[in-house]
Structure 1
Amino acid sequence: MKMNTDTAATAVVLPAAERLQKQGKLSLLWQEMKRNRVSYLFLAPFLILFTLFTIVPVVTSVVLSFTYYNILEAPKFIGLSNYRLLFVDDDIFLKAIGVTLKFAFITGPVGYIMAFLLAWLISQIPQKYRFFYTLCYYTPSITSATAMSVVWLYLFAGDRKGLLNYFAAKLGVIDEPYLFLQNINSIVPVIIIVSLWMSMGVGFLAFLAGLQNVPKDLYEAGEIDGIKYRWQQLIYITVPSVKPQLLFGAVLQVVSSLTIFDVSVQLVGLPSPLYAGHTILTHLFDYAFIKFEMGYAAAIAVVLFGMMIGLNRLIFKWLGRD
């Protein structure tokens, strides 16, 4: 009987102790905020904007994903129906996932490595020439997809006036024009090529800035320790010194590779032939702004958001250990 009484008393005391501990932590947090109130005031504009334009839209999308919402009527709760439809009955969405992952696993690593290597090569040339090369590689990323598509549409046009078809016919490689943007076997490779051409964006500039700020003393110390070749400097000195920039560039590359939209729509249209170039973001745009099924579109957005979070966690695990 005494044992039961002690057990009951312990069961009552433990929650009380946990509540006191939580209250103590909240009290310490409030005191810390009061002591550093000037810092929190400086952070307030960003926190307010971040809450309004990031946290609130994400929470709203999650809530709407469990509803049927067509803009004209009030949202109606339907539970997991949108997600069940996505993964069981929507064959086009499943195909869009495959196309998007194919883009991500090709354009992501390849674009990432290309950006870093080009930034490293530019950092090796004299200072007065760096701006010219940086501008040449960075310009495609800030040019609109519509403007860039004009050039690429001319290059891959499916008639004899298309640049590739013209030279291939002149050389006797083909007898009739090849339909680069209508053939389902060539649509994905073409979009990947154009996406890689436009992938030298902010991550590329971050790599370049990080490489230019690596202390020269490290290279001198490396020479004393026996490092003779540039590739040895790159592996043992440069890469460890720019890990923050590598992490930043990797996150940007993951986001851009999973959100391919403009290039696909401008080159092969919406929808693309047999949905060969249909990505998750294209599917979302179709349901949100053409069919106005906002609840279903929100479910697609939540799935895409989850994929980004998962890949970014892997990147932080690999590159963010320090």
Structure 2
Amino acid sequence: MAQPTASTTNTAPQVRSGKIAGLLREIVRHRISYYFMLPFMLLFMTFTVAPVLTSVGLSFTYYNILESPRWVGLGNYRLLFVDDDVFLTAVANTLKFAVVTGPVSYVMAFLLAWLISQIPVRYRFLYTFFYYTPAITSAVAMTVVWTYLFSGDRYGLINNWLMQLGILNEPFLWLQDIRTIMPVLIVVSLWMSMGIGFLSFLAGLQNVPKDMYEAGAIDGVKYRWQQLWYITIPSVKPQLLFGAVMQIVFSLQVFDVSVQLAGLPSPLYAGHTIMTHLFDYAFIRFEMGYAASIAVVLFLLMVGLNRVIFKILGSKE
């Protein structure tokens, strides 16, 4: 077997140094553009990258705020996945919630945006306002309304209606029964899910060139559903990708609705999610190292799911 010569062994470092030198020359050449990017990059590094790296570092320590962080290695992660049954329940609840609310609210937001884009322009603002209002209303205000609807006494609207119809003989504890807590959370979250993704879909649909539909009509596209499948959806692929990413974040970070409706902790942890588990250890028990490990797991879960979405909806462009 031929032995590598000195010239071949020095090739890789030379290539790397050449790339670095070329990058530095490009930065100097386009320094004005980088000056404009500098404020955003500083804020991004300070308030996004630095906290993430700090959380990763703290996840390998025992830190209770009062004492200095003490290195424990993988102890937090071992405890998280081996001994913490409540965390595993929270993961199961979060995934169950995300599997239902994610695809349903995503498709519902796109279809509603598509239907609104079909009506006359002067009526679009009114319909958009009606569907977007639950998303901009505070979770506390919305849960007050839903708590009244699902109240466990005879004065709750759902119980009152069902008792008047003869379906129930006595009030049902919707927010205390472990069988109904998660369905109620899903219903409320779907009601509040017409957020940024819905607006991005609507904006993308309104910017599809009209001549594409005219060209499609010449090529034999006759019906609205054919226009939707062959013209509209390919034209709004960037908005579909953005909406999918935002929906993943929304589904995995469910917190306010769960706490306001089911409490913390919820009965038998039926409404417990990863975010409520993180909040419990971070701001009630003040075990910041353990809470950081929960945050890292949630972060990796989001990144993994987003990579899957990029594989499905992303493109080289």
TM tier, smaller? over 0.9
Cα deviations across residues 237-293 of structure 1 (Å, max 9, x unaligned)? 000000000000000000000000000000011000000000000000000000000
Question: Which residue of the other structure, out of 310, 317, 321, is the alignment partner of 2:315?
Answer: 321
Question: Which residue of the other structure, out of 92, 98, 117, is the alignment partner of 2:92?
Answer: 98
The CA deviation at 1:321 is 2.4
Cα deviations across residues 171-193 of structure 1 (Å, max 9, x unaligned)? 11110001100000000000000
Q: Tell me the distance in 1 between the aligned counterparts of 2:104 and 2:257.
A: 17
Question: Which residue of the other structure, out of 6, 17, 21, is the alignment partner of 2:11?
Answer: 17
Q: Tell me the distance in 1 between the aligned counterparts of 2:8 and 2:47.
A: 41
The CA deviation at 1:13 is 3.2
Q: Does 1:287 align with 2:287?
A: no
2:32 maps to amino acid: V
Q: Does 1:202 align with 2:206?
A: no
Residue matched to 2:40: 46
2:81 maps to amino acid: F
Cα deviations across residues 65-112 of structure 1 (Å, max 9, x unaligned)? 000000000000000000000000000000000000001111000010
Alignment RMSD, CA only?
1.0
1:1-322 to structure 2, matched below 5 A, reads 7=3, 10=5, 12-322=6-316
- Could you say what secondary structure the match of 2:39 adopts? helix
1:268 maps to amino acid: A
2:163 maps to amino acid: A
Q: Tell me the distance in 2 between the aligned counterparts of 1:39 and 1:299.
A: 38
Q: Tell me the distance in 2 between the aligned counterparts of 1:291 and 1:246.
A: 40
1:209 maps to amino acid: A
2:244 maps to amino acid: A
1:175 maps to amino acid: N
2:225 maps to amino acid: W
The CA deviation at 1:114 is 0.5
Cα deviations across residues 25-68 of structure 1 (Å, max 9, x unaligned)? 11100000000000000000111111001110010000000000
Q: Tell me the distance in 1 between the aligned counterparts of 2:102 and 2:143.
A: 21
Deviates more, 1:107-116 or 1:17-26: 17-26
The CA deviation at 1:14 is 3.1
The CA deviation at 1:115 is 0.4
- Could you say what secondary structure the match of 1:185 adopts? coil
- Could you say what secondary structure the match of 1:158 adopts? coil
- Could you say what secondary structure the match of 1:184 adopts? coil
TM-score by length of 2: 0.98
The CA deviation at 1:15 is 3.5
Q: Tell me the distance in 1 between the aligned counterparts of 2:8 and 2:95.
A: 49
The CA deviation at 1:168 is 0.6
- Could you say what secondary structure the match of 1:256 adopts? helix
Cα deviations across residues 288-318 of structure 1 (Å, max 9, x unaligned)? 0000000000000000000000000000000
The CA deviation at 1:213 is 0.3
TM-score by length of 1: 0.97
- Could you say what secondary structure the match of 1:306 adopts? helix
The CA deviation at 1:20 is 1.3
Q: Tell me the distance in 2 between the aligned counterparts of 1:229 and 1:268.
A: 46
| Count of residue pairs the alignment pairs up | 316
- Could you say what secondary structure the match of 2:229 adopts? helix
State, as a whole percentage, how many aligned pairs show the same letter: 68
Q: Tell me the distance in 2 between the aligned counterparts of 1:157 and 1:206.
A: 35
Structure 2 unmatched runs, 5+: none
Structure 1 unmatched runs, 5+: none
The CA deviation at 1:228 is 1.0
